[in-house]
Structure 1
């Protein structure tokens, strides 16, 4: 996917690329009306030809949107759009918008800091177990857990 940094996706202005996963890119964006940062997960364009994958992506947004837990990011919006509607060759972008949380991933933290103490490992493990138990109680199974 070509970078969307500097472009507008719906009402959101993309300001930075945050990461890439198997199904989507994640960007930092500004929601201008209320002057706040958000994170936008944009489905890879080459996957949008598959109706099954588009349905799965949108179902994920709806499912996460129903969850309310302090360790689960909130879904604010989900939609589809073209960056340049006048260009018929322009791909349709499917995206979900989430609260932007400042910080680093656990994986990045582990690479750049001394090894965790036993207490820190237990603290993180307990939080992870609690949030996964909550999601499971809500009928969700996480398919892609990484630090």
Structure 2
């Protein structure tokens, strides 16, 4: 497949997913918040269905020998990171996906949340290879590279 065809497929897929997320008002933060505070489970059900689909898809993907799964140790750094990420979602009022949708709709607070998300990802990418053990792969060695301009996306 040519690069243009790949970009076109990515554009169509992203547009369809964006439309679905915008129209359904799906949000991970709202799914958990509404279930706990308001006993409303509409988004929670959608989140569980999405998790089931992803689990089945990932299992199928790995079972045919595709991909290269890696195992990382879980420690206090993951717990701290999850806490900080959750705090950021609460302060932003939405998960990252919903923040993209709200920014596209013109919500100024969501635009600021996205800007600081990118700033945080970029700053973390500068120290990643110094705090990661075992030593980071060559794409994360701290040398200046084009990958850093992607703000953590690949």
> What TM-score does the superposition give when structure 1 sets the normalisation length?
0.33
Higher helix share: 2
> What TM-score does the superposition give when structure 2 sets the normalisation length?
0.32
The structure with the larger Rg is 2
